[in-house]
Each structure stands twice: as C-alpha cells, then as structure tokens.
Amino acid sequence: MKKYKLYSLAAAATLTLGLSSCGEGFLTEEPASSVSIDGYYTTDARIMESAVAAYDPMHWYDYFSGWCPINLMWDIQADDMYAGGSNKDDQGYLYLISRYDSDPNNTIGGFWSANYSGINRSIRLIDNATASDLPEADKNLYIAEGRALRAWYYLCLWKTWGNIPFYMENLTFPYIAEQKSADEVYEAIVTDLEGVIDMNILPMKQPDEWAGRMTQAAVYMMYAELVMYQKDQIRYQKALNYMKEIINSTQYDLVDGADYDQLFSYTTEWTKEIILDINYASKGSSRDWGSANAPGGTVFPTMIGVAGLNYNGTNIGTIDGPYAEFSIGGYGFGTVSKEAYDAFEEGDLRRDVAILNIYKYIEDMAARGIKVTYAGRFQNTGYFLRKYLGRPGGNEGATASTDLGWDNNLHIYRFAETLLNAAELGLALGDAEAQRYFDRVRERAGLQPLPLNKENIINERRLEFVGEGKRYFDLVRSGMAAQVLTAGGGVILEDKATMTYSEPGTAIPQRPAWTENKKYLPIPQSEIEASQGAINQNDY
C-alpha cells in the first residue's frame, strides 16, 4: 500500500525551500518567520527537509507553468498517443511537439525549469549533508541520494534537449553555465552514477514508509537507461550486471498476470514490481490552479479523462450515484492510437488494463442494460489510457482543487523493465539467460514465447509500457524511429449510433515523417536569451 511519509514532510520544509532555493522565480519573498540559514542544517531532521526539497520538483512534472506530464509529453512524439484536448491550440505546445514542429517560444519551459530547480536543490542537499555533523554513514547516505537525484534531473533534460547547460556545483552570479554537447552530458552523468553505485550505501529497496526515495535499484535503472539510449556498448556488460543484481536480489518481482491491474490501483500501487514511482497523494492535497507546485495529488487523470463520460443515472458499482469504474468528466488529452490497441495479441492480459476501448465498453455496458455515452474531443480515437484514468474516490481528501488532487502515482521504473533491459543487453552480449528474461514478461501477460530479437523486444516494451513515456526513446535508440514514425494517415472516428462525438467523422491531419534532427526538442527561447549568448539553439 502507498505511503506518504516523505511527501507529507513537504509542508514542514516550506521554510527551508524558501531559504535554500536560488534563482527560482516562483519564490520571490522571504518568509516573515525566516531564520538564518547559517548553521541551520545540523540535525538529521533538518537535512531531511533539504532532501524533501530536492525530491519536490519531481512532483511538478504533471503541471508546472503549463500542462506537460512527462509521460504524455514524451509519448505523443511516438505512435501510441495523440495530444488531444479541445483543439490544436489547447496547450498548443503539446500539439506542436507531437507534430515535430515545436516552437521555442511556445514550448514546455516549465519542464526545463522544474528539472533545473531539482538540480539546484539536489546540489544543496549534497552540500548541506557534507557540511553537517551527522555520523559518516548517515551523511554519505544523504550525499548518495542527492547525487542520484541530480543525475535523474539531468537524465530528463538530456533525453529531452540533449545539448544543455551543465554544472555539478550551484552557480554564482551571473548564474550562467556552459552548454555541453549531448555526448559530454552523457559522460558526466553516467560517470557520476558510477560513483554513486561504488558508494554502495543506498538500499536495494526502501522500507514501505520511505517508498519513493532513491534506491540502488533505481540508480541501476537510470544507469541502464543512459547506457542503452547512448548505445554505449563498452558499458553494456556493466549495465547487464546491474540488472542481474536487481533480479537476483529477489526484492522485486512481477505481479501475477491476474493481478496486473494492481499496478494501477490506488490501494496497491507500491507492489513488489515498483522500483521507482513519483508519489501523489489525494489526502490533504493542497494543489490548486494558483499553486500548482503545492504538495498533494496529480492532475493527469483529469487531463486524460474521458470527456462527457456519462452513466446516465445508472448505479453499477458500490458507490451511490451515476458513476462506476471511471470518474465522469475529463479533458480528453492523450488519446491512444487504434494501432497501439491493435498491436496487442489476442489473450494479452495487459491490453484491457492498459487501454479503455470505449467502443467495446459501451457495447458491454449496453448488454448489461446500462447506457453509457461520452463526447469525443479533438483527436478522439475512442481509446483512452486506462492505466491512469481517475476512479471514484481517487481524489478523496483533497483540500483544494480535486482536478489536481488525484491519488495516481506515476511509474518511472518497474521490474518488468529490468527484465526487458536484461534481455536486450543480454542479446547484444550473447548472454545465455537473455531469452528467459524476455519470456518471463510474456508469460505474465499470458502469451507464448517469441524468438529473442531487437524487433520483438522493442514491441514487447511497447505493449508493457504503453502510456508510461518509454516508446519514443525506444524507437530512437533502436534505430526504428524513421521507419515507424512515417508521414500520412489520420484519426478516423467510427460512426456508431451508441456514441456521441463533438465532431463525428473528423479526420485529423497528421505530422510529417520523423527525421534525426527531431531527436531533441528546441531549447526554450527565453533560456537562450537569458544566457546572454552562452546557449545555442538545437538544430530542430
């Protein structure tokens, strides 16, 4: 069951955030109750405040200076999801990103800012722990945690923009860092992670009360992701060894196929399969439209919710009222492609957990005498990301906006990915166990084994992680992007009498073909201008 101890400390850390965050535009006034920062970080409790501050920007990924949930923003660049919303101008930067036409003046600058805020705070955690009087083991644990967090934030920036300003110590006036090439950034991050791994002080798995904090397993997963995306074959064996350490530790495992839905349930989110999640908590959520970075829940289920979903007064569940399995209402972002749904084999236990086929759902409900309707929005396909759809009670306890107060955790790394990483790395290295790792994932899905090759692995990752932000990077690093992300096609809405659409039958114009220069997004123009010539724009 999900625990919130780390994030429940966020309110207590507010004072510390205000004092220790430099150059963050959303913090403009010093609190009236401020205390001197000199000599403040002396106890474990106060270093923990610094740690909470360092984790907090991960919580902003779904909404910070613009709607840019990381899994949606990354996935709409591939072939599984569309931007959606009410029209192409609704959070238009998402639509532009999906069409490989991103505008540096209308882009996801909030994601850039959130990650650099995280880097700033992670370095401060390292510095505060280093200067503290804590016992050496406790001090080193916080230092390793800060370095792992810093690497995570840089990993996000590197995958998205490639050629970014990079620094390992916080900046001083005029707060301008040298822009490094994507290759230089990679080498710096992966080398630092190797140092964290060599410290061997992070636990392989956190106890329940600290679920969501960095672990050795999470660091191993970051390392493998970096190495595989860079195609750094020299480090493949080391990455494979780390995957095997996770597997052989027996501290993580796949949930049973019959329990696959537990991965996306409010009450069972921290299953044995979860290596790293971003924790969101509805209870006590204070996130609101005027304070989107406040502690609490997530807006993502509202964003991808089925617009106009209506059970027409039928009570088909245990909750009084017209709703049953899914919360009524939503903004219709992130619709899933029919091709993604059709990619699942018959009998795959994952398909109907991952994706809601509204056509099939309405027909199934009608067979039970229950009338369900909905209203399709822009780029409506009739397929929705069921994994993260809001369920009744999912925003219970939110003290501010319930639209931003959902309880759904965001999965970053799961044990299924550990197995598929091991299979892919093992294939490249001729490891005898590679096929078995691959088979375990398919067996859990209720499927027969397939031969181990690159295409089958990349396809299996598509099915396992649809909507979890993996697909685009898998296509790019495997060299399959150009052949898969081709021009043409369209979203055609089927005309079914049982459904209601805003614009029935509308075909959605499609993007041009992907090319190599679309690998990285253009850097926000505001950052280039603020750098006084230190940052060059990506060739996009």
Question: For 62-88, what is each residue's pLDDT tens digit?
Answer: 987 777 899 999 999 999 999 999 988
> Which of the four pLDDT bands, split at 50, 70 and 90, describes residue 321?
very low
Q: Indicate whether 431 pLDDT > 70.
A: yes
Instruction: Report the C-alpha gap between 518 and 513 in whole angstroms.
Output: 10
Q: Indicate whether 20 pLDDT > 50.
A: no
Instruction: Report the C-alpha gap between 406 and 287 in whole angstroms.
Output: 10
DSSP character at residue 478: H
Strands, E, within 228-280: which ranges?
Answer: 274-278
Q: State the pLDDT at residue 511.
A: 80
pLDDT in tens, 78-134: 999 999 999 889 999 999 999 999 999 999 999 999 999 999 999 999 999 999 999
Instruction: Report the C-alpha gap between 8 and 284 in whole angstroms.
Output: 9
Average pLDDT over residues 43-71: 91
| % of the chain at pLDDT higher than 70 | 87
Structural domain boundaries in the chain: 84-107+306-389+479-540
Residues linked to residue 33 through DSSP beta bridges, in sequence order: none
User: Are residues 240 and 432 in contact, defined by beta-carbon separation less than 8 angstroms?
Assistant: no
Q: State the pLDDT at residue 41.
A: 92
Q: State the pLDDT at residue 490.
A: 54
pLDDT in tens, 204-253: 999 999 999 999 999 999 999 999 999 999 999 999 999 999 999 999 99
| % of the chain at pLDDT higher than 90 | 76
Q: What count of Cα atoms within 13 Å lies in the side-chain half-sphere of residue 98? A: 29
**Host H or E run for residue 383:** strand 383-385
The answer to whether the pTM exceeds 0.75 is yes
Q: Check whether the bond before 512 is cis (ω within 30° of 0).
A: no
